[in-house]
Structure 1
Amino acid sequence: MRIIHPKLMSNPRINKILNVFEQKKIDALLVTKDVNIQYLTYTPSSESWLLICPKKVFYITDFRYVLEAEKSLKGISVKRYENSIHETLFQIAKSMHVRRIGFDERHMTLATFKVLKKECPKEIRLVEGNNIVEDLREVKERVEIESIIKALKIHKQAHEFLKKAVKPGISEKALFFKLEEFVRSKGVTFSFAPIIASGPNSCHPHAKVTERKIRRDDSVLIDMGIDLKGYKSDLTRMFFLGKISPLVQEVYHFVKAAQLEAIGKIKSGIPVGEIDQTARNYLEKQKLEKYFGHALGHGVGLEIHESPRLSQKSTAVLKEGMIITVEPAVYIPDKFGIRIEDMVLVTKEGCEVLSDNIH
């Protein structure tokens, strides 16, 4: 059994990381992705690395961030590197008698990876440590769930603002600027660049905001999110102006029904591919499945797109505490697109739609 230093016991996230060391056959874990470091230290990070050892955790950074890190990081040793971050990393590893360092090569450039491999001392091995932090981040703690709910409360205010602001004559770009001003007035930012797609522009899943003016009888697709202290919301809503064509009404009804079918299947222990297939099967019955070309959803937290990915190709299984989006869609080329996206908390026996009051 691996002995965990008492100082690290107060950080439950790092404690959970240490508990997988034996299974992964590693003596230390190198974390280089900023958002993963933020998750493990409860503090935003930039251009720094975290080395987790059983008896000590090291935050390796340069001159610019040392003072701030020393003030905010509790129980973590802040190390300033002089020549290179790689050199300091291996100096620390040697001092801690580390022999096998787990790391995730996906979170560094090829150039950094090559230097890391080249400078690695003979007595130390770099071994695969993919998804160790990401797997932990999938299941949200209560404090994380509450942070996302707070972001959704501000999102609801932005949605109410949009209900008044979306009107004929305003361009997508002008609407974007109005929305941005409103969001900033609440002391928050967007979690990603919003999609505001009117009329035929909405047939593009990731449409760019244009100068097109919204017209009477348009349908307008708005996909946006709020970032509140790192935690994010992500919803898509449809806005309809004037007379809605029978085809648009019908497709909207089918997309909403597909979403409800999928949400009805969500609970801990269910494969994510099954949830995706449920929505797809419903749309297939309506002969619309060919117009739904992306995955049904994804995890949300400190990043707008996290695992699990709700896709037929994924082997992931839903777990209690995951927060996912469910966003079936139909895109009719050159005509219109309908997407409805909600955020859902997975529970043991079912789920809770966190965004159910935003409509």
Structure 2
Amino acid sequence: MLDKVQKIINDSNLDIVVFSDPVHLLWLAGFSGSTGVLLVSDSGAVLGVDFRYHEIAEDLKVENLDVYCAPTGNLLKNTLDYFFKKKVERVGYLASRNSQNQKESLQKVLNAELVAIDHEINFARSQKNKSEIVGLVESSKLNADLFNHIREMVKPGISERDLAAEIISYAVKKGASKMAFDPIVASGKNASRPHASFTDKILEPGEPLTLDLGVCLDGWSSDMTRTWAVPGKKPTEGLLKIFDIVNSAKKEAESHLAIGASGHDLDVSARDVIKKFGYGDFFGHSLGHGIGREVHEEPRLAQNSKDIMLDGMAVTIEPGIYIKDKYGVRIEDSYLIVDKKVINLGIDVFSDFF
């Protein structure tokens, strides 16, 4: 991944790029400690850490990455003095990952022109290389295993909280470092809330249960949603109807997902299906997003998106219909666009309603 940053350095006429936020330290160096600074030039890179993380950083073994255990003091200044012997003039940084105080601190230490390269870095992250794709696939496999495990527990009488506890426990036992986001476990009326928090509510026969889950495995996120009917009673006709509409919208968007498709057109393809049946006002979020080190990345699949799908991108498709105080349905899978093919990473997880 360092080569992606070095291309930006050359294209933007920068001396170095500085990273200090956890997401990019993980993406570029595989470092998951709480404190560190990564400096990248056109000829190399150094990860500066303090004594607490020196041994951990030494174990990373990233090609063309030096590790520096800085003495007590300003970590950025000490690492810069170690790495770059001449004065820097133009320094790339991430404006969105630094507060105004942090920017002023950078300016004081570097005494150079700061150049925001957020767009360039986000675009570079959106196209995954082979090793990144492997990470996403493995994370999605664990997430699929999690869904299949939890499906066996879905029955009347269990609470949303008990399901959430088992979700987190099972994921960690199977190798996840954490959940990629707080699990959404929403049954009955709670399913009308797209990002509901789990409660003590007890599952009842025939009502919907929406599970939106993702794990973090070796730093890679996964994301999937299923809405299932709780066993024991046939769902209402109204609930069956909106499930079929959402499923049709998802399949329509899937059929258009390809290199060259726009995030806008993909969103519209699914949204038009939902509008056709009169539920357009009940689909209030965008269709999907990129996924990688973070669960929400570029590209965006949304009505106002200008992003174009390219080889190596990983995205979600997740249409939904939400009827306040009644029920809701969302179905989501993650997809890889690789070698002009589209791979559904959730294909092994039961997606029918009941």
Q: Which aligned pairs between 1:2-41 and structure 2 lie closer than 5 A? A: 13-41=1-29
Which ranges in structure 1 are unaligned for 5 or more consecutive residues?
1-12
Decide whether the 8 Å contact of 1:60 with 1:81 is kept in 2: no
Q: Which residue of 2 aligns with 1:166?
A: 154
Contact map agreement 1:36 1:134 (CA 8 A) in 2: no
Normalising by structure 2, we get a TM-score of 0.91
Task: Give the residue type in structure 1 aligned to 2:145.
Answer: Q
Q: Quick one: structure 1 residues 351 and 107, their matched pair in 2 at CA, closer, same or farther if it must change by over 3 Å?
A: same
Query: In structure 2, what is the equivalent of residue 46 of structure 1?
Result: 34
- Map 1:106-255; keep pairs closer than 5 Å: 106-121=96-111, 124-188=112-176, 189-241=178-230, 242-255=233-246
Query: How far did residue 349 of structure 1 move?
Result: 4.2
Q: Does the C-alpha gap of structure 1 residues 229 and 22 become closer, same or farther in structure 2, counting only changes over 3 Å?
A: closer
* Contact kept? 2:29, 2:60, Cα under 8 Å: no
C-alpha contact (below 8 Å) 2:319/2:331 kept by paired residues: yes
Corresponding residue SS for 1:343: strand
- Specify whether residues 81 and 135 from structure 1 end up closer, same or farther in structure 2 by C-alpha distance, changes over 3 A only: farther
Cα distance in 1, alignment partners of residues 313 and 9 from structure 2: 24
Cα separation, partners in 2 of 1:180 and 1:127, compared to 1, 3 Å = closer
CA contact (8 A) 1:272 1:312 kept: yes
Q: Contact conserved, 2:15 with 2:90, CA < 8 A, in 1?
A: yes
CA distance in 1, matches of 2:24, 2:143: 25
Preserved CA contact (<8 Å) 1:28 1:52:
yes
Give the distance between the partners of 2:121 and 2:203, measured in 1 at CA.
44
Query: Amino acid of the residue matched to residue 83 of structure 1?
Result: G
CA deviation vs aligned residue, 1:25-73 (integer Å, no higher than 9, x gap): 2121112222212222244343111111123312122221123223324
Are the structure 2 counterparts of residues 130 and 185 from structure 1 closer, same or farther at C-alpha, using a change threshold of 3 Å?
closer
Partner of 2:255: 264
Matched, 1:83 2:77: no
Pairing 1:281–2:269 present: no
Further displaced range: 96-105 or 267-276: 96-105
Instruction: Answer whether contact 2:30 2:60 (CA < 8 A) is retained.
Output: no
Q: Is the 8 A contact 1:267 1:347 kept in 2?
A: no
SS at match of 1:261: helix
* Number of residue-to-residue matches in the alignment: 345
Tell me if structure 2 keeps the 8 A contact 1:342–1:355: yes
Which region of structure 1 is more displaced relative to structure 2, 40-49 or 332-341?
40-49
Q: How much has 1:350 moved relative to structure 2?
A: 5.0
- Displacement of 1:128 after TM fit? 1.8
Q: Is the 8 A contact 1:27 1:99 kept in 2?
A: yes
Q: Which moved more, 1:102-111 or 1:154-163?
A: 154-163
How much does 1:193 deviate? 1.2
Name structure 2 gaps, 5 residues minimum. none
**Structure 1 residues 232 and 90, CA, compared in 2 at 3 Å: closer, same or farther?**
closer
